[in-house]
Amino acid sequence: MMTNYTNYSSYRDALNNSEITCVDQVKSFLKEIDAQKHLNAFLETFDETALAAAQKVDQKLKEGNAGRLAGMVIGIKDNLCYKDHKLSVSSKILSGFTSLFSGTAVERLIAEDAIIIGRLNCDEFAMGSSNEKSAFGPVLNPYDTTKVSGGSSGGSAVAVAANLCHASLGSDTGGSVRQPASFTGTVGLKPTYGRISRWGLVAYGSSLDQIGPFTKSVEDSALLLEVIAGADEYDTTAAQNEVDTYADFKFEGQKKIAVLRDAIDSEGLSGSVKERFNEIIEKLKSDGHTIEIVDFPLLNQMVPTYYVVSNAEASSNLSRYDGIHYGYRSEGAKDIQSTYVKSRTEGFGTEVKRRIMMGTFVLSAGYYDAYFAKAQKVRRLIQDRTKEIFAQYDFIMTPTTPHVAFELGHNADNPVAMYLEDIFTVHANLAGNPAISLPLGKDKQGMPFGIQVMAPFFEEKKMFAMADNMMSM
């Protein structure tokens, strides 16, 4: 039976003590991925290149010059470019496409001797909150296969939760790392906007998108961020701020934490989540921390604002998928116009088409001011109120999700209900702040849920320290 390492340091110790080799670990994971293929987490495994990389890392370990992530086996969401490997964003529109380059985050992992084992299923073009919108079928929750995994990075979450790799990368536009992390009992991080280069990440909402890792521990999340964060000449939105020594976090002193009244009083908050959340509040108070309830009356405006902004940006970003340059082209196309229309109609799934049409509508003449311009004004109000809170508090704490994972097909015919799944997570994307979901709760049926901690811009190191302190609660 393969060992389930709870953090990278214990695995690295096993490598250094010759208890295991990287090749053995990759083979074990490939075997486990096949044994749990019913979860549909992986769209493809990179057996040949992963084993070849493992052999090289084993040699480096013998020579004593291996990188900081030596032998860490990582899965990547199917919207991250990895040179000479397929990329589809879980969509028919990119069938047969092979990436011509590796994204900056992927390159930085490989430079520190991480091993990329495969690409992971996701909602098509990262548009979804349940991972039921993939062209290749839903990802199932390993805790209960009748339940969703969360989205859009469901495959990335399940791969870590089901011990199919040590860690994974996802992307978070409105909660797409933190929400599935909550549903699968993993640690999910969305860094400050611009902290990680988006070069090589297929764009959905460019002002919102951010790459983030899934891990089993806070220390591994910090280590991965330290490796992949930083400025990048290929991404002008990547922050120039110096990368902190995140992995060396240390918790000190008592903190002042804001809890959003509108979140804990939300009608959709389940009893088990609210009960556990209140337990954590009391535990933090008993440890000497100051917890205060603050008003954030814009909570109900966040989801509509997010979907206006993200869909408008998606409408623009997805215009390049036209059946001409690459990917799927309709067999029924007879001329240029029919090639565009038929290829996009047949290549995109229903949810993607819905969001493109919504985005095009809010950008159209006569509606731009009524929707898109107004959403940008509300977004600024959200950002300003968030800054006001952080002027007085170290962190903001909320549940990550209002409830545990729901049943497959539960919200299939109700897109509005599905969009409301993001009610607690879109805040960090609209404001640009870092946030982390911690696996701190389970309901009576044993289904996990997370608690979210949000911090000021570029204060990930302090956030990791607080998060690690909370993991024992």
Active centre residues (catalytic): 77, 152, 176
- CB within 8 Å of 318: residues ≥ 6 apart: 125, 348, 352, 356
Buried b (16+ CB within 10 A) or exposed e, 284-313: beeeebebeebebebbeebbbbbbbbbbbb
Q: Alpha helices, DSSP H only, in 201-318?
A: 218-228, 261-264, 271-286, 299-317
C-alpha torsion sign, points 304, 305, 309, 310: negative
Radius of gyration in angstroms for the set of CA atoms belonging to the chain, rounded to a whole number: 21
Bond from prior residue into 152 cis (ω within 30 degrees of 0):
yes
Euclidean distance between CA atoms 459 and 473, whole angstroms:
22
What pairs with residue 98 in β-bridges?
86
Angstrom CA distances, 324 to 84, 328, 337, 365, 416, stand at 21, 8, 11, 27, 33
